[in-house]
Structure 1
Amino acid sequence: MEASHVEVDEFAEAKTLYASNCASCHGQKVEMFVDRKWKHGNAIDSIISSIKTGYEDLGMPSFDSIIPDEQIGKLAAFIKNGIDNRDSYSFDNKFNPDSLFEVDGVKFKLELITDEIEVPWGYVFLPDNSMLITNTNGTLFHRTADGTLNEISGVPKVQNEGQGGLLDIELDPDFEQNSLIYLSFTKPKDGKNTTAVIRAQLDGQSLKEVTEIFEALPYLSTKHHYGGRLEFDNDNHLFISVGDRGKRDDNPQSLENHCGKIHRINTDGSIPEDNPFVDKENAIASIYSYGHRNPQGLKFDAKTNTLWEHEHGPRGGDELNIIKKGENYGWPVVSFGINYNGTTFTNKTEMEGMTNSEKYWVPSIAPCGMDMIQSDKYPGWENQILVGSLRFKYVTKVAEDMSETQMLKNIGRVRNVRLDNEGYIYVSTEADGAIYKLIPENN
């Protein structure tokens, strides 16, 4: 009898290693990882060195004490093979933007708004429903109603490195009267950097009267966990998220620095008199809540006067929170996550005096961008929260009971989700630099 042929996957062990140790930061599928800029080289020896020693300033841990050299070699060979032949690791069906999608009773198609922006990190809709769009490289665009992209001059210098760059954008609540906008960005200074926010007047295709109204201290040499989301409440307070900058043991639990916090300021940068720590000695007066890791989603629900926030956990433990004045959200004392290299840093998932999340994700989805559906364009979806996933390349729709529905799977690393003035959903992705509009079938 002829022996049957069994095909052996030479990278089977390496795929398991990648899923266990790399995916939470670099993406579930290796093709997301290998299609990138390789600052420290992508030769096999360089990849092995990166895995073994890490790059602390970029948030890359060392694995030399966790993974044996032989396995590191196999993992590096797997990644190198992916670089040389990326398509061979496209394990899922390709995303087809021309499909008719059906999710929870709503059928819709996608309209491509633009694919000319490298990383569309943030965007807002002007009164005429045209768009202002940030690109992390430091460029701000105005997309007109007819689809023309015009660059806006006057943007401050940004440090586009690691997770930094030109980040979020918001319109002033009285924009139609004053034409003011707000931009968050990575500000360089003396070889270090931080999260900062400017206010400026939009004057045609340029920014005028540019004023810095927020600067997170201290400046640090790390190049990750900037936060950077902006959101206004009903009282015209501006909320700003700032990540822990990779200094989890120093920053998020201290009230004497800006990092790992949600801040609340007035439109001119002054501090609201009722901020929770204005009278506390040595505390940063702009702090509204603390104990955060890297918040990249903020949404204020004007109907219920509720500020929603989501933030990246480490390996597991992404959180969806309701932000309350003066509260401590626990990072890194409590968490459902572990270190990227598999070791633990806490065995506590809750503690008296620390606020529990409304929802957490294990494994991490790497959430980015968030909005709430408050229109009738998508019947049955009202009041549900939309969250983008960088890791798994989808949008998840979170219902009021915290159950969720994943949609647009494999659309790409989702950087932002936002509704326009008419209530239509827009989704932006990295790599292809695309922004899509979800058009319900009955429209």
Structure 2
Amino acid sequence: MLKTSRALLFLGLLGSSLAQAMDYRIETVTGGLEHPWSLAFLPDGRMLVTERVGRLRIIEADGRLNPQPVGGVPEGFVAAQAGLMEVMLDPQFASNQQLYLSYAYGTSQANNTRLAKARLVDGQLQEVQVLFSALPAKAGAAHYGGRMAFLADNTLVLTLGDGFDLREQAQNTSNHLGKIVRLNRDGSIPQDNPLVGQTGVAEEIYSLGHRNVQGIVYDAERQRLYSHEHGPRGGDELNLIKPGNNYGWPLITYGIDYSGAQISPYTELPGLQQPLLHWTPSVAPSSLALYRGALFPQWQGDLFASTLAERSVRRIRLHNGKLAGQEVLFEELGERIRDVRCGPDGALYLLTDNVDGRLLRVVPAAE
């Protein structure tokens, strides 16, 4: 167990000098996870964790990592950023045992993001069915997106990447690169998607103009869909997602290329959405959660973004639905944080992105 830590609120929206202290304690639930990517809570107190290398693991209710990986996981493409990504339970999981997985498919020369569903029965995946494969298949092993969320009508949104070398395709509505797509739970296309009925378009598209979206969460209380995405050097973004909106990449950006070259001279253009906030230098946001627990009343309704480069979690404070400042948490860990989740017990859960990754639980210091 790690020692008690104190986090200080030191960043405020528009440079305000808000300051607040909060005590918390960070506990190690389990270790021995190889580059864990995503966490899901089962109704019986157990947890599911994906490992990017292609394994789905079960953590028992007492925190013990089951040594036997879940069987039947579909084979994917594993290299660099590619591999097994998100696991998400169906809204009726307690009765149907269905879950959803996102993963990279293909080969080093032809790959992209895929969505599948299956039933979890006695530690095995059964009835595995591919629901969606992002197209076109592209070369390389970067920018897959892969995060998922359910909306109020139980349709599913899946985030995608621009393929890294194909960033201009984020503006091309005939393919899935640099998009967020929306699907029914059986993989069919909702007939109220914004581009349905238009000629020559990918009708799964819900929004476009994204770079690499690795965080998405639906706030049912406010009926808002938030996402964040990686910028290049600078320009990581938090966005409010609305159907049919164009978020500008790469026509507008607050970042520059890794070489230092200019990507675009514009940070805003007519018809392209501005981010709610952007991070420069990059923090490399890797997942997004909404806190609706009881253990930390001060966090109620706030967003939490895990980061890889900053090795932290950003608490994004919301007041009446408007941004009210930021707080940098858990830097003392010194680790890349791949996933952040609000657990059913009100604790905050973190996955560290390492060869020997850990699942951590954040609780009040006095608990």
Whether these two folds match at TM > 0.5 is: yes
Q: In structure 1, what is the equivalent of residue 16 of structure 2?
A: none
Determine whether 1:101 maps to 2:11: no
Q: 1:117 to 1:190 in 2, by over 3 A?
A: closer
Verify the 8 A CA contact 2:47 2:60 in the aligned structure 1: yes
How far does residue 416 in structure 1 lie from its aligned partner after superposition?
0.6
CA distance in 2, matches of 1:202, 1:348: 48
Name which of 305, 312, 327 aligns with 1:405.
Answer: 327
Q: Structure 2: where are the runs of 5+ without partners?
A: 9-19
- Return the match for 1:129 from 23, 45, 54: 45
Question: Structure 1: how far apart are the matches of 2:146 and 2:331?
Answer: 26
Deviations 1:290-338 (A, max 9, x none): 0000000011101011110000000010000010000000000000000
**How big is the shift at 1:249?**
4.2
Give the aligned partner of residue 80 of structure 2: 162
Q: Which amino acid aligns with 2:364?
A: P
Q: Which structure 1 residue ranges, 5 or more long, are not aligned?
A: 1-95
1:336 to 254, 261, 270: 254
Give 1:98 shift: 2.4
> Do the aligned partners of residues 396 and 114 (structure 1) sit closer, same or farther apart at CA in structure 2, a change above 3 Å counting?
same
User: What per-residue deviation string (whole Å, max 9, x for no partner) do you get for residues 238-283 of structure 1?
Assistant: 1100100113444100001111000000000001110000111111
Indicate yes or no: 2:339 matched with 1:416: yes
Cα distance between partner residues in 2 of 1:189 and 1:246: 16
From the CA coordinates, give the structure whose radius of gyration is larger.
1
Partner of 1:429: 352
Residues 106 and 379, structure 1, Cα contact 8 Å, conserved in 2: no
Q: Which residue of 1 aligns with 2:56?
A: 140
Q: Judge which range, 100-109 or 344-353, deviates more.
A: 100-109
Query: Where do 1:268-417 residues align within 5 Å?
Result: 268-400=186-318, 401-411=323-333, 412-417=335-340
Higher RCO (CA 8 Å, separation ≥ 6 residues): 2
Give the TM-score, by structure 2 length: 0.92
Deviates more, 1:369-378 or 1:185-194: 185-194
User: Aligned with 1:252: secondary structure?
Assistant: helix
Matches within 5 A, 1:181-260: 181-189=99-107, 191-260=109-178
The 3 A distance-change label for structure 1 pair 108 and 237 is: same
Conserved 8 A contact 2:293-2:343? no
Answering whether residue 184 of structure 2 is matched by residue 266 of structure 1, we say yes
Contact 2:167 2:249 in 1 (8 A): no
Superposition deviation, residue 146 in structure 1: 2.0
- 2: CA distance between counterparts of 1:229 and 1:259? 14
Taking the aligned partners of 2:346 and 2:240, their CA distance within structure 1 comes to 23
Question: In proportion to residue count, which structure has more strand?
Answer: 2
Aligned to 2:364: 440
CA distance in 1, matches of 2:76, 2:30: 23
Question: Contact conserved, 1:397 with 1:406, CA < 8 A, in 2?
Answer: yes
Structure 1 position 409, deviation (Å): 0.6
Cα deviations by residue, 1:142-189 (Å, 9 ceiling, x for unpaired): 111122323100001111101110000110011111100000000115
Instruction: Say if 1:250 and 1:348 are closer, same or farther in 2 by CA, change over 3 A.
Output: closer
Distance 1:276 1:247 in 2: 27
- Distance in 1 (CA, whole Å) between partners of 2:332 and 2:310 is 7
Distance 2:165 2:185 in 1: 29
Q: Is the 8 A contact 1:396 1:407 kept in 2?
A: yes
Structure 2 match to 1:58:
none
Question: Offset of 1:376 from its aligned partner?
Answer: 2.4
Q: Let me know the Cα RMSD of the aligned residues.
A: 1.4
